[in-house]
Amino acid sequence: MLSRQNNYKMVVMDMDYTLLNKNKEVSPGNKEALAEAAKKGVHLVVATGRIYSSARFYTRLLGINTPIIASNGAIIKEDATNKIMFQSILLDEVALEMIRLCKENGLYCHLYSQDTVYTEKIINISQRYSEWNQRLNEEDRININVVESLEKTVEEERGKILKAVVVDDDEEKLAYIREKIMETGKVSVSQSLKDNLEVMNKGINKGNAIRILSEIYGIKRDEIIAIGDNENDISMVEYAGLGIAMGNAVDILKERADYITGTYDEDGVAQVIREFVL
């Protein structure tokens, strides 16, 4: 329900093309608004499909102690305390089926742990992380582990894998893999961009993650704002008392949102905070 009474106690934000602009930066306007909200005592939460260690880099830049929802809700962790508040380890059978489906279609599956990307080839998402690493200090870099066999990795890294990801421009292949992996009945599937497919355990999504956080903090559902731009944000936008779509969001998210803010170039996150929080 749309309310401008400024009684919201938690603001949950997607990262790419929401909090971050196309240059993967947080604008001065967004930083300023977030700092003011933090001073007011509002819980600020980042929710992303990214690997945890990548999201942590940006929250540290903001200088705000915020819980991080990473891998689309498969892990919730506090950077300041290093405390894992929740995690859902991907079922071995799901990881192995994703690897099989990807190889069957000539694609490369990637597996995410909290801080490592496992892949048999540096390509697509691992290539992007590799290029990003070149601009970072060593302590902020994403671990990229090129392995001979992802199947062996599933066994050797048991208890660590949170998410499986495949990235490719062939939408038909991605649609086929999506259909087949969903037939297992054991997964949650989403896409944060047209060229990627992200697979977690059934029931794992951003909406479930903010439900868990709200229970931990004793915050009511109608006291939560969630802001996003893509399919993997639908669950949290629908869960929050005030679900907001960015001006640059996909149509399906705009249709389900309570309010549409400005685009990432227009500091849409800051607009929300100033309109509904401050």
pLDDT tens across 47-75, in order?
Answer: 999 999 888 988 887 877 889 999 999 99
The pLDDT-based confidence of 30 (bands split at 50, 70, 90) is very high
Rounded distance, CA 118 to CA 53, Å? 14
CB 234 within 8 A of CB 257: no
Tokens of 69: 């929802």
Rounded distance, CA 237 to CA 11, Å? 11
The pLDDT-based confidence of 272 (bands split at 50, 70, 90) is very high
Q: Which helix (H) or strand (E) holds 30?
A: helix 28-39
Task: Give pLDDT tens digits for 202-212.
Answer: 999 999 999 99
3-state secondary structure 101-141: HHHHCCCCEEEECCCEEEECCCCCHHHHHHHHHCCCCHHHC
Helix 52-62 with 28-39: angle, nearest 10 deg = 80
Phi, psi of 209 (to 5 degrees): -65, -40
Three-state DSSP state, 188: strand
Same topology, domains 10-87+205-276 and 92-201? Answer is no
Instruction: Fold for 10-87+205-276, please state it.
Output: Rossmann fold (3.40.50)
Domain range list for the chain: 10-87+205-276, 92-201
Q: Residue 188 forms beta bridges with which residues?
A: 200
CB atoms under 10 Å from CB of 47, counted, come to: 32
* pLDDT given for residue 3 in this prediction: 58
**Which among 177, 175, 167, 193 has a CA at the least distance from the CA of 112?**
167
Rounded distance, CA 168 to CA 163, Å? 17
Sign, Cα dihedral of 205, 245, 12, 212: negative
* pLDDT given for residue 173 in this prediction: 95
CB 108 within 8 A of CB 124: yes
Q: Is 92-201 in CATH node 3.10.20.30?
A: no
